[in-house]
Each structure stands twice: as structure tokens, then as C-alpha cells.
Chain A
Amino acid sequence: MADGPLLEIADLTFRYQRATEPAIRNINLSLAPGEVLLVAGPSGCGKSTLIRAINGLIPHSYRGDLAGQVRIGGRSTAELRLRDLALMVGTVLQDPRKQVVASTVGGELAFGPENLGMEAAEIRRRVVEVAASSGIQHLLQRTTDALSGGETQQLAIAGAVMLRPRLVVLDEPLANLDPAAAHRLLSLLRRLADQGTAVVIVEHRVEDALDMAPDRVLYLEDGETTYLGPVRGFLEIADPASIRLPFEVALARASGAVAPAIEPERRRGSEVNGASPRLEWRGVDAGYEERTVLHAVSASLGRRQSVAVLGPNGSGKTTLFKAAIGLIPLTSGDVLVDGASTAGRSVADLVEVFGYVFQNPSQMLFARTVRDEILFGPRNMGRAADRMDALVTESLARVGLTDVSNIGARAPLTLSFGQQKRLAIAVALGLEPLTLVLDEPSAGQDHRSATAFMEEVERIQGLESVYFVTHDADLALTYADRILLMRDGQIVADGTPLQVIDDRERWVECNLRFTSLMEANLRWGSETGQFLAAGQLAAWIVNKPPEGKGASVGRSPERQRRGRLSL
């Protein structure tokens, strides 16, 4: 078995039982031990389906039409039993919290070997060994519900390698992780690969994933392979609108681009002089039960600003806004909205100022139709009945949901994840708030949907300001005109995007990393005067009036290639 590939996929096509179209078509692929394959592609292109075909859930758990072959170690997955496959393939699913089935970390690690009836002493030995090699020994006695997102993710990976699989597959392991945690995780995977385990990793955050130096990239679109080969070749053909690419790639592509129009005040107009801020924390302490999370937080956010809050997992970003709108009582300090203290005011009092959108839209969708869902708030607030129809149409139009046919009558929970996120905003807009507060607007969305989403939010009429929390620093720097950095429940920096990334040490202390886009913006920032998106900055650089002769570098003819790239 030493010769021959570890994983072999031949002409694989699969259609789910309830679908009319195949989710993946004609996939051909082979993978050698120790090789790392990065799988990328827009939402719904079939990445998770491919993972299921590799680990055997297809055809063992999912019904449908399967054509072609998946062979692991030379044997077809359709003929192997799931228990034999469990010994060969370790899987980390899209949401690690759903994957953890035991109450304690030790129990979770032991789960797989126990199911397969391995000897107890051997299991205990392996638990200690794997915990050490995955760097989670200190967690062994902890209960799984008290782990942070990053720790849960590490545990899921450790659990997957307990059976010493020769192949590990991971479905979007980086979503919801702060950049430093993501980096640690990728190093762990790199080590595994160096020891001879083959790795298949699905990830939207391509630039981050490149950190672990994958050997090859598989790009899927609409269930079909559009690229399979080395990373370099991929970077040459990838479409920057769908995938966030390293800035150098964007720059190389930008030759011949039209100069961007950069207005000095891109956003919501200037503050009204002398007006009190929209939201102000004054020495706020707040937290849960015995645990104080926010420590003496003071900050004020303007009425016409886009503000992004960045910081490590668990630093208190979500808590900051929950405390602001009264979902969490303050233990000391005060929160002021439009200059007036909120002490003694109810949450319902503030809903007309703040539209708050939670991270997970399905956490609040309950009505039988989209229309009822949007009207839930207005009805609670006793809005006039004759305004209702207008409210529904306006809210849906403002988030671009009107093109979904018969949207008003659809059941909210049957919408796709991206559509649900939009509906969540429409729901918030139904109460006609002045300011929108978004918790993790981009998590779990591909690059194209995330940027489209932020752009739509920017264009919403009647909205004065947007405050959002995110782990996607590029997105924050691009779409906000002010950044707050949080760490350990305190605000450690507050300024424009260019100002906050200027202090490199502090940036790194907040578990953030420097992306190529940040480096480029730092380099040109003094001239552009603001943080620009990759495309804009690249276009600006190539169109920069030549000071000396150097500026014509980017001019080499690349048109032919570009024509192939963008769709």
C-alpha cells in the first residue's frame, strides 16, 4: 500500500436525494500521504459535499445518486464500513461546537476509540499523548461547554486524530476564530502533514490558509472543478471578487485598471457640530454572574460613523454592545444614548435607536412567514396598522431581498444562510432604527457575499450609523472609518484604520495579524490618506502619477490573463 495515492477520487458525481441537480460533478483528484489540499469556492459550490464523499458519510449516511469512485488506501469507501473508515479518515466539521459530544475534554478525546472497542489502557495512553501533541493538556480536566471557540476547535482536531487517521479533512475550521487562534490551528495542521498525514482543508479565508503552505488548491464552482493544481497557478487565475487574495496578486491584476474615485468623506457625512454622541460608555463595568467582563470601559461613538470593533475571542466585544442596549445590567458606570443616561430605561425603549443584529440569524427567526417576522417588532411596539405593508416592502427592499420570488410568504427558516442574515437586518430595519449594530456580519459567508453584504448595509437609506463586531480585520478596516480594539474587557485603541494599524505591537497583542493588504496600506497610507480596499488601492497604485520612472512597473500587458479570470 506504500505506493499509490492515499486518496483517489475518480469521476465523482453526487446528487442528494431531495435535490434535482448534482451537488458535485466529475471530480477527479488524488492525494499522497503528507500532502495538503486546500479546497475553496463560493457558498453552495459543493465543498461540504466533497468532504462528505471523502469521509464516507456519502454514501453511508446521505442518500442520493452516486457515480464514480472514492478510494482510500486503494479501497472504495462505498464498500468499506463506517467503522473502518473511521480509522482512516478524521473529520472536523463546519461547526466544532456541534461536533463535541462529551461533557469533558478527556471524554471527547476518548469517544472515537471507545466506540471502536479499543482497549481501555491504550485509550488512556493515547488521550495523554494526543493532548500533549495538540497542545491541549491544560484543558484535559475542563468541561467542554466552558471552552472558548478556539479551544473547541483545537479539541475537535485532537479528537479527529485520536484514531491516527492517515487523512484528516476539515470543513471551514477558521470561521469565528481570531487571526492568532487561526494561525495556531494552521500550524498544528502543518505539523500533522509534516508527520505524513494527508490534509484536506476547506476554507473561505484563502489568504489565511495559505499560511500553512498547502501543496495544491482545488477550486470548485457550481459543483465542478475549475482549478486543481499548485497554489501559484491558482493565485494567477482566481477572481479577486470571489476570493480574498494576497495584495500582490491584486496589484499584479490591476494594471490597466481605471483610477478609483476616492472621496475624502466616503461615508455618512460629517458629524453635526456640538451634537451629543449616539452612544457613550462612561466607566462601564459589566459581565455575567460572578464574572466581570468589561472593566471601566469609556468610549463614545458618533451619530454618523461606521465603527468596527476588533479583538481576541472572549475579549468582550459582544458584551460591550449587549451592555450598551441594556441586555446586560451594568455593575458600575453609565451608558448614554444621544446624551441621555439609559439608567432605568428598558430595552424596548432603545429599539428605535438601535437595530441590533445577532451573530446567528436563526436564533431569532420564528414566524411562519417573512412578513410576520418583520412585523413582529413593529407590532410589539404598537405601530399603526396602516403602516405595516409599507414597512414590509421597504425593509425587504433595503436589504435587497425583493428579488426572491414571493418572499413575504416564505417560511424564514427555509431561506439560505445568507438570505437569513439579510432578513435579520430587514427585521431590525422594520423598527426604523437610526443605528445598526451587527455582531459578526461576515462569519460563515464567502468573500463575495461578505463584501456585498457590507456594501448593501452602507447603502441603506435613512440609516445614520453602523457599528459592527468582526474578526475579519480587512473587512473592518475597509468598511469602517473608525476602529476600536478590545482586549481583556478594555478598549486599548481607538482611531482611524490607518492609525490603529500603525502601532504594530498593539495590533499583534490583540491577536490580530498583518495581512498583505494592511502592509500595502501602511506603505501608501500617507499618500492615499485612508485605508483602501484591495482593488481600489491596487488601481490607485498603478494609476499613481509617476514620480520618477518607477511607477510604470505594473504596466506590463496582462490583459489576456485578466480576461480569463474575472467572470
Chain B
Amino acid sequence: MTSMTMGQSDGMWSVSTRVIVYAAIGAALYAVAGYFSFFAQVPGTEGVYLRPAYGILTFFGFAFGPVVGLFTGLVGNALADTMTGSGPTLYWHWSVANGLVGLVAGLFPVWMASRMTSASSRATASAIAAVVATIVGFLFIWIELVIQPELGFNAILTAEYLPTIVSNSIFGAILTPILVLAWDPLSERLGR
């Protein structure tokens, strides 16, 4: 069902024009959506923002594969940081973490292909994918133990990792299936 959306039968890792365009749309949407969110940041955490648009990332990964997911997270987050002001370099590891989330979300349909037989099972799978990808992808921010050792294990856990994965898992699990359910019927009509 999604094989066609990943650019003509060339397999999951190919970078066709279609993959490039979807990746660019995903990253641009992810970067822009932050501006149109109506929520503030999590109180008492280090710059952990509530990102209702987060589901866009897991959706692009889930629907269009790991390459699109990786690019959406990595470039989308770096551009968002550049537009808000902190620049693409300071929080580079957060961008990488976002990219990994997209990547993992993109691998999910391959693992779960046999279980996704109906629209609702696909939606459920996408919600699970969003949560798992979030938990796995953001493991990358533990690199702060190396680059910012003074923060310490506890601060990273309680002020960064946990609030991030909790809030993002919730947003991902809500928005991803909504988008999957809206897109699937259309993807079949747009096929080439």
C-alpha cells in the first residue's frame, strides 16, 4: 500500500525525485508548523517545547520511508532553530535526534507490514511507531553526557529526555494516525 509512495519500486533507501520532494515538504512543514502551534514550553525544563506539530515528523517517516523521515527531522529541526535564532549548530544533536526519530518511524512499516491489513490497524501501527521512534530517536541527546558533562545524568534525564519523550509521544500518537487516515485513501488515487 505504501510501496508506491516511496518512489517506484526502487526500494526503501533510493533517493528518487519523489523522495526529494516529499523530504523537502516534510522538513519545511515541520519547520513552519512550530510557528503555528498554540502551546508554550514545558515549565521547568531546558527549552523543551511542546510541539503539537511533532506528529508531522513521525507521519512523514511512517508514510514515505526512512530517507524522508531522516531528512524531515534533521533539516526541519535545524531550519526551525535557524529561523527562531539559535542557529543550526548550537543544538545540532537535537536535530540529529529528530532525524533518527523520522528514520525509525520510516523503518516501522517494513517491520509491521504483515500486521497492517486494514485502515485502522495501519493507524494503530502508526501511533505505536510514533511512540517507539520517539523513545529510540531521542536517545541521541544523551550525547550531552560527553559534550556538556557538567549537566549531569539527572538533569538530562529529568529535564530533557523524559519531558521530551513524554510530550512528543503524546503528540505523535495523536496526530500521526489522524494524518495516516487522511492520507491513505488519497495516496491510492494519486498513484502513477
Contacts and interface: CB of A to CB of B under 8 A. Distances in A.
Interface in A364-390: 366, 368
Contacts of B189: 18, 414
A261 to B, nearest CB: 43
B182 A63 contact: no
Interface in A398-414: 411, 413-414
A366 B178 CA distance: 10
A414 B192 contact: no
B181 A368 contact: yes
B146 interface: no
A63 B182 CA distance: 24
A149 B185 CA distance: 31
A61 B182 contact: no
B192 A61 contact: yes
A366 B192 contact: no
B66 to A, nearest CB: 23
Contacts of A414: 185-186, 189
Contacts of A413: 182, 185-186
15 contacts: A16-B191, A16-B192, A17-B192, A18-B188, A18-B189, A61-B192, A62-B192, A368-B181, A368-B182, A411-B185, A413-B182, A413-B185, A413-B186, A414-B186, A414-B189
Interface string B163-192: 000000000000000000110011011011
B173 to A, nearest CB: 18
A415 B2 CA distance: 21
A411 B181 CA distance: 10
A411 B183 CA distance: 10
Q: 7 closest A-B pairs (Cβ-Cβ)?
A: A62-B192, A411-B185, A18-B191, A414-B185, A413-B186, A63-B192, A61-B192
Given A18-B191, A414-B186, 12 more contacts: A16-B192, A17-B191, A18-B189, A62-B192, A63-B192, A366-B182, A368-B181, A368-B182, A411-B182, A411-B185, A413-B186, A414-B189
Nearest to B191: A18
A18 B186 CA distance: 12
Contacts of B182: 366, 368, 411, 413
A18 B1 CA distance: 12
Contacts of B181: 368
A62 B182 CA distance: 23
A61 B7 CA distance: 10
A346 B186 CA distance: 35
A85 to B, nearest CB: 15
Nearest to A367: B182
A145 to B, nearest CB: 12
B181, B186, B192: residue with the most chain A Cβ atoms closer than 10 Å = B192
Interface string A305-317: 0000000000000
A512 B192 CA distance: 39
A366 B192 CA distance: 24
Contacts of A16: 191-192
Nearest to A61: B192
A63 to B, nearest CB: 6
A366 B183 CA distance: 10
B25 to A, nearest CB: 11
Contacts of B192: 16-17, 61-63
Nearest to A366: B182
A62 B190 CA distance: 10
A62 B4 CA distance: 11
Contacts of A61: 192
Interface in B99-157: none
A147 B185 CA distance: 34
A366 B185 CA distance: 13
A413 B189 CA distance: 10
Interface in A1-32: 16-18
B164 to A, nearest CB: 28
A18 B192 CA distance: 8
B185 to A, nearest CB: 5
